[in-house]
Structure 1
Amino acid sequence: MIVALTIWFYFLTISFRFTKEDVHTRTNIKSSVQRGLKSKFVSQFDVLEPIIDDLIPKKSQVELLKCEDKIQLYISDDEVIFFQQFDELIPSLKIIHKYPSAFPSVKVDRGAIKFVLSGANIMCPGLTSPGADLPEAPGLPEGEIVAIYAEGKEHALAIGKLIMSTEDIKSKNKGIGIELFHYLGDGLWNFHAD
């Protein structure tokens, strides 16, 4: 278990400490592919449907940057809108900050902030202790992409994927609850496409 966590943490830190040198190709996306991406993003986050044309305007040019470790960045107006790791589209934190109510969210306690900002996965006790907040029953299912907020903070500090449902996190209260993908201050946050 510790070896697996170490390997994942290593992968995560490598993945988002990339620079422009880690970008292999940069291409413009055809409008038909762009429509498909918008549909896929809306199917993952159905609440985005009313704002998807604000997020990716119809006349804008979306670019695809293929990077190290099979990470793909989708950029519009020199801003990373979302990235793809394998098959999932994951919004960037800058997009979550613009549209905070459009994404499911959880809140960690103050004690978890320094660990989250160093790229660590989020343990269940950081999601169940006083100051933390999980959605009420039925909650969120395992595998859901969530914005991660912190006690006393206004903006999301990370985005990740639930390793177990929020109901299981509450009942088990041990182990990893959220696999972290992207956090404030990582390479993706500091990446400039221009």
Structure 2
Amino acid sequence: MRKRALPKREIRDLNTNLANFQLDVKATVEIVEDTRGTIITEEGEPVLLLHQDKWFPTLQTLNKINPLKKITVDMGAIPYVCSGADVMRPGIKAIDEGIAKESPVAVIDEKYGKILAVGISLFDSEEMRKMEKGKVIKNLHYVGDWIWNFNKQP
């Protein structure tokens, strides 16, 4: 695992590319590169993850502010989503309006409304509603993965 502190100039440049979240230029911001992926931490807390040259908020960030559209899954889907499985259409209970294809979404449970995962929509919300089966969300980061446990590592 490699860590590198980001200078204020790089933080400002990164902030211009972020739509719904801004890094604090006064905070200690680091980029962490690992064989499993690349993240940005702010004061040691994972806040962004890199996927195909795009930055996405981590679950830790979404628990503070959630600018993402939501997909609600039934309780039976939770163990699969929290093991890294992609979200399948039969497990979905509700789909927010206005989800665009290939946009980031928050996956939440139907009982408590807790965020379980961050994913990429493979279809827009209208297409998802028409579907009865198949994969609809690619799971990028979930409760219990290495990013979630980043601060808990020795």
Q: Do they fold alike, i.e. is TM over 0.5?
A: yes
What letter matches 2:16 in structure 1?
S
Cα RMSD of the aligned pairs, angstroms, is 1.6
Query: Where does residue 85 of structure 1 map in the other structure?
Result: 51
Number of residue pairs aligned between Structure 1 and Structure 2 = 153
- Please tell me the residue identity of whatever aligns with 1:68: T
Unaligned runs of 5+ in 1: 1-22
Deviation by residue 1:88-112 (Cα, 9 ceiling, x = unmatched) = 1011101101113x22211111221
State the TM-score, normalizing by the size of structure 2.
0.92
Query: Which residue in 1 is equivalent to 2:105?
Result: 146
2: CA distance between counterparts of 1:107 and 1:84?
A: 24
Among residues 39, 62, 72, which one is paired with 1:96 in the alignment? 62
Structure 2 gaps, min length 5: none
Query: C-alpha separation between the residues in 2 aligned to 1:124 and 1:41?
Result: 29
Instruction: Give me the TM-score of the superposition, normalised by structure 1.
Output: 0.74
Q: Secondary structure at the match of 1:39?
A: helix
Bigger Rg, which one: 1
Structure 1 runs, 4 residues or longer, greater than 2 Å off: none
More helix by share: 1
* 1:43-122 superposed matches below 5 A: 45=20, 48=21, 52=22, 56-69=23-36, 71-100=37-66, 102-122=67-87
What is the rounded CA distance, in whole Å, between the counterparts of 1:98 and 1:155 in structure 2?
Answer: 12
Name 2:5's counterpart in structure 1.
28
3-state DSSP of counterpart to 1:188: coil
Tell me how far apart the structure 1 counterparts of residues 55 and 102 of structure 2 sit (CA, whole Å).
13
2:127 is aligned to 168
> Comparing both structures, which one devotes a greater share of its residues to strand?
2
